[in-house]
Amino acid sequence: MQFRVKDEGTQVHVALDGQLNFAANEDFQALLSQLGALKGKKVTFEMSGLSHIDSVGLGLLYIAREDLAESGSSISLAHPRDNVFRMLELTEAHKTFEIQR
């Protein structure tokens, strides 16, 4: 998985590419460190470049959500592909995350 972070004042866009899965570890650790410095931001994970996600990857999104909430930031997920959205539905993640289609 690769990511790009674009800070636009109160809004932060994080574009994810590739697979967010069990092998995405180091990359996501770096992302968590970067997001840990944010305060009171609205963070959007742009997911259109994400080809697959598994429950390990989803767990990482929950960790990011919790970390961001602690620093007064919020998280939303944008434009997941059909298979990724289906996975989010099957795991009921759509009840926790705001998802823009």
Binding site for another protein (CB under 8 A): 19, 21-23, 25-26, 28-29, 32, 36, 51-56, 58-60, 62-63, 66-67, 82-83, 86-87, 90-93, 95-96
What is the residue-wise DSSP string for the chain? -EEEEEEETTEEEEEEEEEESTT-HHHHHHHHHHHHT--S-EEEEEEEEEEEE-HHHHHHHHHHHHHHHHTT-EEEEE---HHHHHHHHHTTGGGTSEEE-
Least spacing, CB of residue 12 vs another protein, in Å: 18
- In the bound state with another protein, the residue whose beta carbon lies nearer, of 8 and 76, is 76
- In the bound state with another protein, the residue whose beta carbon lies nearer, of 42 and 67, is 67
- In the bound state with another protein, the residue whose beta carbon lies nearer, of 9 and 90, is 90
